[in-house]
Every structure is written in C-alpha cells, then in structure tokens.
Chains A and B, each alone.
Chain A
Amino acid sequence: MTEEREVVIKVRGVVNAFGDTVIHDHIDLDVYRGEVLGVVGGSGAGKSVLLRTIIGLNKQKEGTVEVFGEDPVPHRERPENSVQMRWGVLFQEGALFSSQTVAENIQVPLREYTKMNQALMNEITAMKLSMVGLPEDAARKYPSELSGGMKKRAGLARALAADPEIVFLDEPTAGLDPISATQFDLLVKDLQKSLNLTVFMVTHDLDTLRATTDRIAVLVNKKIKVGPIDEIRKDPDPWIQEYFSGARGRAAIGA
C-alpha cells in the first residue's frame, strides 16, 4: 500500500441529531480505495446512521459527504452515471425484494444499469451465486424460503451484482452462528481481494473485526476515532477499553 492513496469516501464535519439528541458531532472520516474499514460503537452510538448518511438515506444536519468526490444523490437525467452504480449495500436482514426470486433480486442492478441480454445476466447471476457460496437451486427460491444466513449471502450477491467498487455491509455477521460468521468473514475477505473492493462494514463482531478489517473506526461520545485495531486498543477511552478488554474482546484479540 502506497502513501498516496485515493480517498473514495470523504466525510467532513458531519452533524446528525434526532430532536435534541446529538448522534454525531462534527465527524471527519476518510475511507481509502481497497481497504476494509470496520465501524464499531455501542448500541445507539450511530453506526447505522453514519452508514445511512454516507449512502444518502439520511440527510445530515451539517457537514458534507462525498463518495468518489460526489454528493451521493442519484443523477436524475443520467442514472447510469450516479454513484449508486458504483456501490453495493448489504442491509442487516438482506432487504431482498420479497416478491422476487433470488435470481431476479440479483438481476435488478444489472437490468437497471446495464444493457445485458437475459442469457448473459443468467450466467453472471450463476457466477455471483457461486461466489457467495449459495447452491444453484437457491436462484429460484423466494426470500421467505431462505434461512437467515442464506438471505445474507443472497443480499451480498445482489450488492455485488453490478461489480461495485465500494460495498457497505451493515452487521453482516449478526444473527449467524459462529461457523457461518467465520465463513462469511472469509468470503468478504476473499471477494475484497479478488474484486479489489473497498469495504465499509458496520459490525459488533470482534472476530470479524480482527479477521477482516484493515482499520477500524470507533464511534464514541459522538466523535469518531480511526486507526488500525492495535492502535485503537491502546486508546484510554473507557468505552474502548471496556470493549476490547472485556472477556469477549480478549478472546477475539487473543490477548
């Protein structure tokens, strides 16, 4: 990794508040191309709000968010050029469209953003399914027929369908058993390497943090602290100490 790295997500002075409750107080964050950034924080610390702010689902009170140097809003007149084409989002429960089969779900971004014919889309869908480790027969199933872990894999396949440059993952391993969670971690790391993805991941899972991330961002006291995991661990903040030195934290870090 070189010193001069391209910043793909740039957050500057962002303030978010619901009513009188301030969630983020002038947050700055840079995410570099090709890195895996893990975002942690206590419940209600605003991890998901930060993610939603970056992908344009939540309008910040103050400050700016730039993704690839642009405001993350869809282009009305040329939708194929908007940043939405260049990112994929995996929501917590997968957020698969329940009226469509898995294959149709995966083809939504392809159909919207490319002019591929059906045959090519079917081939690419099969490739994405095998990339995320879903069996072939999952393609014709509806989301309600899938288990939680399969929904997440299908959601990831949809997020990756149009070959995005950034993938946002909201608690990808929450609700998975430890074996599936480990597999999912490996999967994310593999795909990140082979597709050269930038990954922005909200997670509570210390094993995931350890296994996959290059840097972590901790949301604490309405501020954000960013750095490699070993550096952040030394931060004197009581919440961070508690987080990494608790029984779960120590086990995951191997300290």
Chain B
Amino acid sequence: MSTDTADSRSDTRAWVKTDAQARLLRVVAGGDWVARDAARIDTMLQGLGLGDAGDVEIDGSAITRLDSAGGWLLVRTKRRLEEAGKRVRDIALPEIYAPLMHTIEQEHTAPPVVMERRHGLIPFLERTGKATVETGRQGYRMLGYLGRFMIEWMEAMLLPRSNLRFAALIHQVEEIGVNALPIVGLLSFLIGIVLAYQGADQLRRFGAEIFTINLLGVGVLRELGGLVTAIIIAGRSGSAFTAQIGTMKVNDEIDALQTIGLNTFDVLVLPRVLGLLIALPFLTLYADIMAMIGGAVMCYFDLGITAPVFMRQLHQAVSVNTFLVGIIKAPVFAIVIGLVGCFEGLQVERNAASVGQLTTRSVVEAVFLVIVLDAGFSILFSILKI
C-alpha cells in the first residue's frame, strides 16, 4: 500500500493493487478511473501479479470517479480473470455506479472492432488493383459521356430549342472570359517579357537581335498564347465547373433538377461548354496581344528597338496563318476543358471529400489533355506543312 498512497494522496489519480490472502486474491482499485487516464490504468492492470489463488475479489469501493472507459477496464479485468479459470466474485463499487456497470456488463459483449489495414503489401496491392479497374471504368464512362454530349450538342445545333439558356450562357461568358482578363493579361505580358529577354540574350551572340521579334511572334502566336491561356482557364474555370456541379450533386440539386423534368445537360453542361467555346478564342487573342506588348516593352528597353521598328519586323515575321494556326486550337481546348470539368463534377459522390478529389482530377486531366492535343496539332500541322 505504501507506494500507492503517495499517488492517491497527492491527487485522485487511479491506482490498483493486489492483496493475496490465503486462497483469495483481492484486487483493490481506487481513484479516478476515467478515460483520460485509461492508458495508464491499462498498463497497471497488465502488470498485475495474479498469484495462484482460485478466488478473486475485485474491490473498487475506493474509486472516486468512474466513466465508461474505467468501467470497461474493470469488466475486462473480470472477464480475463474468469478466462484464466478463476472464480470472480462481483465487483464491489459505490452504489452510484451501478447503472453504468449494468449497462457495460449486460449490453457489451462484442469483440473489439477490427480496424481497416492501410499499410503493408496487401492493402497496397488492393489499392493498385482498385485504381487500375477504376481507371478503365473512368475511360469507359468518359467515352459514354462524350457520345452523349455529341448527341445533345447536335440536337441543340440542328433543332435549335427555344430553351437554350441565354442568360446562363451570358453569365458563363462573363465568368469565364471577362473575369479572367486580368490574370490572363498579366501572365501573357510577363511571358512576352521573358521570351523576348531570353531570345535577345541568345540571338545577340550572332548579332541577330532583331530576330527576337520573329521568335516572339511565331512562338507566342502559334503555341504559347493558346497553350498558356488554356492552362490558366483549365485551372480557373475547369476546376470551378467540377466544384460547382459536384457541390450541387452533394446537395441533391442535380436530382432535384431531374425530378422537375429539366435536362441536366441543357441546364448545366451546355451553357458552360458553350460559354467556354465563346470565351477562350477571345481570351487567346487577348493573350497574344498582351504578350506582344510585353515583348515590345522588353525589346525597347533591352535592345533599343522602338515600336515602329518592332511592328515592321513583326509584320515580316508572321502572317495571318501563323495567328490562325494558334487560334484554331482554342475551340478544341475549350471543349476539352469544359467537358472534363462538367464530367468530373457529375462523377462526384455524395460526400465532401469527393468534391475535392474530383476537382483535382479535373484540372490534372484537362491540363494533360490540352498539352497532348497541342502536341497532336503540332504533328498535324507539320504533316500539312502549315
């Protein structure tokens, strides 16, 4: 008792000790048997010497506080002793804890829960397998979705329905296009500066600084303007589509639309994809112009090329075709970004985590597809010798 009293006097920490009498083992417990101290009590109980007495008495009359975790530890001790072949008399406890002990002893006989294993080889293989199957299914679903989109699209174009949602369309154009002007403009301007600076640095070695403008014109108009704009918009609007539609799905709004008899394609997908289709070419044009301005500014400060000279050289370097080759990709990028964004939004399951996951996936897929398509266009144009 001597070692335990110090504890129980200084505060009301839980204690337990054994007291072996002739043929009776007394397990005496006291203090606060509560959840926050359960880890320590558990350790103490594991370390108890049981002796070889056949009868055990659990005396908890000195327990000052007991909650369900503490109660469970007492019940578990009793059950373990019984399993070890001892005869356990009832647990003596202050009267007020009788209902709690009753609840635990009578109702709780279930084995401990088994936690899902998340580490190790087998769960890893399981996840890999699931992911592989899921990727296949994803591709299949996307193909189906693309088909459905084509049909709906053709219907909307060929038999113009009076219910094409103009208000929603205009709203999307504003949201995707007009509101993106500052960020697209700034980034394009900076890309113009960087490209002009790097180009000038290299070309100066050959005394061909003036061709910086050719580099800038061809590089931006053919490739970078459209690509950068598409990537920004995939991050900005593609993600927004997924998050909006996904949240609507979580809130049952998609189901509500369907029960009201509205076509989710008409209401949600078409305005977004059409809005993107209208906005992206204009944004690309704007990005081209801003990048040219950035390049011109850099050429003036770095190479001393004035604006009229810049314009003349640019005119020689690029033709309308160069510009068209760049801008013609924009509608394709728009459809890809819009479809992926809306598709992933409709894939959202009814929980919050899913919205985040699919938004990430939507952006990654859209950016990936945009770059792959851009590479495809490059090959196509080189075959066509444009």
Chain A residues engaging chain B, CB cutoff 8 angstroms = 80, 85, 98-99, 101, 103-104, 110, 113-120, 122-131, 136, 139-140, 142-144, 160, 162-163, 190-191, 193-196
B69 at the interface (CB under 8 A from A): yes
A-contacting 9-mer, from B101-109, B257-265, B282-290: B101-109
B351 within 8 A of A: yes
Q: Which residues of B contact A163 (CB under 8 A)?
A: 34-35, 67-69
Contact between chains at A113 and B113 (CB < 8 Å)? no
* Residue contact A194 to B100, C-beta cutoff 8 Å: yes
Q: How far is the CB of A214 from chain B (nearest CB, A)?
A: 17
Most B CB atoms within 10 A — which of A127, A130, A191, A195? Answer: A127
Q: Which of A114, A124, A140, A144 contacts B351 (CB 8 A)?
A: A144
Contact A120 B39 (CB under 8 A): yes
Contact B39 A116 (CB under 8 A): yes
Least CB distance from B97 to A in Å reads: 9
Give Cα A124 to B112, complex, Å: 7
Chain B interface helix/strand/loop/mixed? helix
Residues of A close to B349: CB separation below 8 A: 144
Chain A residues closer than 8 Å to B108, beta-carbon distance: 126-127, 130-131
Contact yes or no, A126 B113, CB < 8 A: yes
Q: B95 contacts the other chain (Cβ, under 8 Å)?
A: no
Among A113, A142, A143, A195, contact of B67 (Cβ-Cβ < 8 Å) = A195
Contacting residues, chain A, for B109 (C-beta < 8 A): 130
Distance in angstroms between the alpha carbons of A142 and B354 in the assembled complex: 13
Partner of B352, one of A98, A117, A160: A98
Of A80, A119, A144, A190, the residue contacting B112 (CB under 8 A) is A119
CB distance from A121 to the nearest CB of B (A): 9
Q: B114 at interface (Cβ–Cβ under 8 A)?
A: yes
* Residues of chain B with a CB closer than 8 A to A110's CB: 35
CA distance A136 to B109 in the complex (A): 11
Which listed residue (A85, A98, A144, A194) contacts B36, Cβ 8 A? Answer: A85
Contacting pair A104 B35 (CB below 8 A):
no
A-chain residues with CB within 8 Å of residue B351 when the two chains form the complex = 98, 142-144
Give A144 to B100 CA distance when docked, in angstroms: 32
Inside 8 A of A126's CB, which chain B residues have their CB? 108, 110-113
A190 to B102 Cα, complex, angstroms: 11
Is the CB–CB distance between B42 and A103 below 8 Å? no
With both chains docked as a complex, state the minimum distance between the C-beta of B126 and any C-beta of chain A, in angstroms: 14
B350 sits at the interface (CB 8 A): yes
Which of B35, B102, B103, B351 has the most chain A CB within a 10 Å cutoff?
Answer: B35
Q: In the complex, what residues of B have CB within 8 A of residue A115's CB?
A: 39-40
Minimum distance in angstroms from B118 CB to a CB of chain A: 10
Q: Given that A110-B35, A120-B42, A136-B111 are known contacts, is A127 also in contact with B72, CB under 8 Å in the complex? A: yes
Query: Inside 8 A of A125's CB, which chain B residues have their CB?
Result: 112-113
Q: Is B120 an interface residue (CB 8 A)?
A: no
What are 16 A-B residue pairs whose CB atoms fall within 8 Å in the complex?
A98-B351, A103-B113, A103-B115, A114-B35, A114-B36, A116-B39, A124-B68, A126-B108, A129-B110, A129-B113, A130-B107, A139-B113, A139-B114, A163-B69, A194-B102, A196-B96
Chain A residues with CB under 8 A of B353: 98-99
- Contact in complex: B114, A140 (CB < 8 Å): yes
Q: How far is the CB of A144 from chain B (nearest CB, A)?
A: 5
Task: Provide the B340-361 mask, 1 if CB < 8 A to any CB of A, else 0.
Answer: 0000000001111100000000
Q: Bound complex: CA of A113 vs CA of B108, how far in Å?
A: 24
Which residues of chain A have C-beta atoms less than 8 A from B72's C-beta? 123-124, 127
Instruction: Enumerate chain A residues within 8 angstroms of B35, measured Cβ to Cβ.
Output: 110, 113-114, 124, 162-163
New contact pairs (9) apart from A104-B115, A123-B76, CB-CB < 8 Å: A101-B115, A114-B39, A124-B69, A126-B112, A127-B104, A130-B108, A140-B116, A163-B69, A194-B102
- Find residues 30-88 in chain B having any chain A CB closer than 8 Å to their own CB: 34-40, 42, 67-69, 72, 76
The answer on a CB contact under 8 Å between B39 and A113 is no
Q: How far is the CA of A180 from the CA of B38 in the complex (A)?
A: 33
Complex CA distance for A128 and B350, rounded to whole angstroms = 26
User: Is B99 in contact with chain A by the CB < 8 A criterion?
Assistant: yes
What are the residues of chain B within 8 A of A142 when measuring CB–CB? Answer: 351
Q: Which of A143, A162, A193 has the most CB of B within 10 A?
A: A162
* CB < 8 Å neighbour of B113 from A122, A191, A196: A122
| Smallest CB gap from A97: residue in B | B353
Q: How far is the CB of B98 from chain A (nearest CB, A)?
A: 9
